[in-house]
Structure 1
């Protein structure tokens, strides 16, 4: 049975939202590996002879994160829906090969819009990437934000600016 465009669009929207909410690149890597292996199970089944993929055996070895991803498909958990989700996830993963784990520290919790603006500016500075953000609230920063990753450090906090001013004043 061929799936209609709305069902495929729903699967792709779910995959995009799920991908954007992943907390770190290790989970994305694991999902990619598991989903690629699951796709191989589908490819090994001979559809011409009516052979169905052995999903019971395949699911047994999937990581909990992958099972959670598949559970979110809800009404689209048939063979075609699973394959569409695998293809959509793998396309996102393969198109964004640069992964950046970022720790975002602020004095107060940030809104979704504020985080999006900050990450847009970060992306303009370091290039296109998939950001996996861990948020931390630290009242000691007083205001502003600090972004830390393996290769980048941006500190625009009031606490740091005050320390820099103090150093500058004490020099004179």
Structure 2
């Protein structure tokens, strides 16, 4: 049975949304590995001989994150839906070669628009990447934002500016 284009589009939309909500690169890496193993289970089954993939064995070793991902497929949790989701996820993963875990600290929760604007500026500075953003609300920063990653640090908070002013005044 071949799925219609609408069902495949639904699977692809789900995968895109799930990928965009991932919180860190380690989770993306794990999902990629697990889904690749799942794909291998399908590829090793000889459909011409009527052989079915050994999903019991494949699923036994999947990470909880991968199982949650697969649960979200709901009505599309058949062989074709699983393969379409694996293909869609792998395409997203393989097209973004740089993964950046970012800690975004602000005094108050940011709107989606504010986060998008901030991350767009970050992308301009470091190049195209997949950002996994962990948002932290810390009232002690008073205002502004601080971005921290493995290789980048940007602090435009009021607390830091006040500390710099104090240090400059005491220095003179």
The answer to whether residue 160 in structure 2 is matched with residue 157 in structure 1 is no
Q: State the shift of 1:171 in Å.
A: 3.2
Structure 1: distance between partners of 2:98 and 2:54 = 33
Q: State the shift of 1:137 in Å.
A: 1.0
Q: State the shift of 1:54 in Å.
A: 1.1
- Name 2:20's counterpart in structure 1: 20
Say what the alpha-carbon RMSD is for the aligned residues: 0.9
The answer to whether residue 139 in structure 2 is matched with residue 136 in structure 1 is no
The TM-score with structure 2 as length reference comes to: 0.97
Q: Deviations over 1:92-143 (max 9, x none)?
A: 1111121111111000111112111111110111111111111111111000
The TM-score with structure 1 as length reference comes to: 0.97
Q: How does 1:6-45 map to 2 (within 5 A)?
A: 6-45=6-45
Structure 2: distance between partners of 1:129 and 1:67 = 26
Structure 2: distance between partners of 1:167 and 1:18 = 45
Structure 1: distance between partners of 2:114 and 2:10 = 27
- Name 1:54's counterpart in structure 2: 54
Q: Secondary structure at the match of 1:92?
A: helix
Which residues of structure 2 form unaligned runs of 5+?
Answer: none
Q: Deviations over 1:47-106 (max 9, x none)?
A: 111111111111111111000000000010010000000000001111112111111100
